[in-house]
Amino acid sequence: MNTHPRREFLTRSAVGLGALASLFGEGQALESAPMPRPRPTAKRVIYLFQSGAPSQLDLFDYKPGLKDRFAADLPDSIRKGQRLTGMTATQESFPIAPSKYAFKQHGKSGAWVSSLMPHTAGVVDDLCFVKSVHTEAINHDPAITFCQTGAQLAGRPSIGAWVTYGLGSMSKDLPAFVVLVSQGSGNPADQPLYDRLWGSGFLPSSYQGVKFRSQGDPVLFLKNPDGVSDDGRCRVLDDLAKLNKMRQDDTGDPETETRIQQYEMAFRMQSSVPELTDLSKEDAKTFELYGEDARKPGTFAANCLLARRLAERGTRFIQLFHRGWDQHTNLPKQIEGQCRDTDRASAALITDLKRRGLLEDTLVVWGGEFGRTVYCQGKLTAEDYGRDHHPRCFTVWMAGGGVKPGITYGETDDFSYNIAKDPVEVHDLNATLLHCLGIDHTRLTYRYQGRDFRLTDVHGNIVKGILT
């Protein structure tokens, strides 16, 4: 006898309320699923998330006038009483710290790039620099959570989960949403990354990201246990699927369907994942392009190469997280390490996608959770300085997938402290990303606890000035 009729009634009802695109593209979405409205210019996304917040002042946002203001206090007319973190709020002064790195213009577009990013400088005509991104959050965890989920508090679905919920997968043998994590050589004690950043929140768990490990098996529990053959495991999964289907028919619980699909996907991934992660068939020119670090599992370079391989095989949303950008002190030494980690591989990914004909329908995004302050945190010298968190403005670059190449959008003031032209908030960035995939961000919703939620909440405007 069913002792929880009310619970099962609510569970059955919930299945019909949300739009359930099939796990990893198995089958079709229900009729109630929000359908793409704009014309898609991208089929997939590769999001190179630089965790810890890269300094826009030392990489892309050139401010030559700051050299004449070295160590001068940041004018109150610029700071305007805006809130500061607890790490610098009690400083007696806010001395201006110009970047110590040389900037030059590159390519036909004339984009300004510092000497820290020589390889990125070589592909600027393929990039769209957005220098006027801003965010609500001032500390790392809420800021990263906000970038990934559209809310500062944990619990909402990640952007990759929203995309796979809306569009499903293009591959039967690999997950629709894959996450790769690398540790930078800048700040090894940087903020931790939590699995919830690529979680499904209140969406069915079938849409959460699958994290690939860099050591041992890329995905746990894919291999057969000792003494179990492929045929034997297949028979077990078939019988288990029948039992789960009976349970699904009885309860209507979407998580039961998720479990069925996950078992089947895991079986198919036994052959697809080893083939994916075996780089031995990549030619010497590829490793020359990405650098020798691409031969080392777990590095940012290796993950960029894996991202290209995942894109070729139909993975819908590929997200790389690279830690180490949180440089409150000793910034020059730390940021140089981070750029060595990422510059060559990021540029190589753009070049590699382009020469294989994939960049046209792949949207690549590079950026962190906020920027860094123009004033120094801690002791300032001509060779050493630190920078605090700065949510008021930071730089993100994008490429491919319907974004205009070779342009710079948005401007900051002479101190890279406030936005002077064309502000872009995080919700705008996410709305534009969805638009490139052919999704109307206002219609991609999921009903939860009596409310229709979406990635951009009640915000978000498409940044039409950067679109082709």
Q: What is the pLDDT of residues 60-92, one digit of tens each?
A: 999 999 999 999 999 999 999 999 999 999 999
Higher-confidence residue of 78 and 258: namely: 78
Average pLDDT over residues 40-51: 98
Q: What is the pLDDT of residue 32?
A: 39
Average pLDDT over residues 406-413: 98
Structure-token pair, residue 188: 């090894």
Q: What is the bridge-based pairing of β-strands 177-183 and 210-212?
A: parallel
Q: What is the pLDDT of residue 224?
A: 61
Q: What is the pLDDT of residue 236?
A: 66
* Per-residue pLDDT reduced to its tens digit, 306-324: 999 999 999 999 999 999 9
User: Does residue 6 surpass a pLDDT of 50?
Assistant: no
Average pLDDT over residues 382-388: 97
Nearest partner of 358 among 397, 299, 400, judged by Cα? 400
Average pLDDT over residues 250-276: 72
> Where exactly are the structural domains of the chain?
24-180+197-221+298-466
Higher-confidence residue of 235 and 433: namely: 433
Rounded mean pLDDT of the chain? 89
Alpha-helical segments (H) within 32-150? 56-59, 76-79, 118-121, 140-149
User: Does residue 53 surpass a pLDDT of 80?
Assistant: yes
pTM for the structure as a whole: 0.87
pLDDT-based confidence at residue 356 (cuts at 50, 70, 90): very high
Average pLDDT over residues 452-460: 98
* Per-residue pLDDT reduced to its tens digit, 157-189: 999 999 999 999 999 899 999 999 999 999 988
- Helical (H) or strand (E) element with 17: helix 5-17
pLDDT-based confidence at residue 266 (cuts at 50, 70, 90): low
Higher-confidence residue of 121 and 240: namely: 121
pLDDT-based confidence at residue 264 (cuts at 50, 70, 90): low
pLDDT-based confidence at residue 422 (cuts at 50, 70, 90): very high
Nearest partner of 278 among 257, 314, 305, judged by Cα? 305
Q: Cα(first)–Cα(last) distance of the chain, in Å?
A: 60
What DSSP designation does 397 have?
A: E
Average pLDDT over residues 347-369: 98
Going through 12-162 in order, the beta strands assigned E by DSSP cover 44-50, 103-106, 111-114, 127-134
Residue 295 falls in which region: left (phi positive, over 0), alpha (psi -120 to 50) or beta: alpha
Structure-token pair, residue 388: 């605090």
Name the burial class of residue 146, with classes exposed (0-12), middle (13-18) and buried (19+) by CB atoms within 10 angstroms of its CB.
Answer: buried
**Residue 174: which residues within 8 A CB-CB, separation 6 or more?**
24, 269, 272, 273, 276, 310, 313, 314, 315
Q: What is the pLDDT of residue 8?
A: 41
User: Does residue 17 surpass a pLDDT of 80?
Assistant: no
Structure-token pair, residue 189: 């004690």
Q: What is the pLDDT of residue 11?
A: 36
User: Does residue 24 surpass a pLDDT of 90?
Assistant: no
Topology of domain 24-180+197-221+298-466, CATH: Alkaline Phosphatase, subunit A (3.40.720)
pLDDT-based confidence at residue 37 (cuts at 50, 70, 90): low
Alpha-helical segments (H) within 252-319? 254-277, 284-290, 300-312
User: Does residue 28 surpass a pLDDT of 50?
Assistant: no
Q: What is the pLDDT of residue 131?
A: 98
* Per-residue pLDDT reduced to its tens digit, 434-445: 999 999 999 999
User: Does residue 29 surpass a pLDDT of 50?
Assistant: no
* Per-residue pLDDT reduced to its tens digit, 273-303: 888 999 998 999 999 999 999 999 999 999 9
Go through 106-119 and write b for each residue having 16 or more CB atoms within 10 A of its CB, e for each that does not.
bbebebbbbebbeb
Name the burial class of residue 28, with classes exposed (0-12), middle (13-18) and buried (19+) by CB atoms within 10 angstroms of its CB.
Answer: exposed
The number of beta carbons lying within 10 Å of the beta carbon of residue 2 is 10
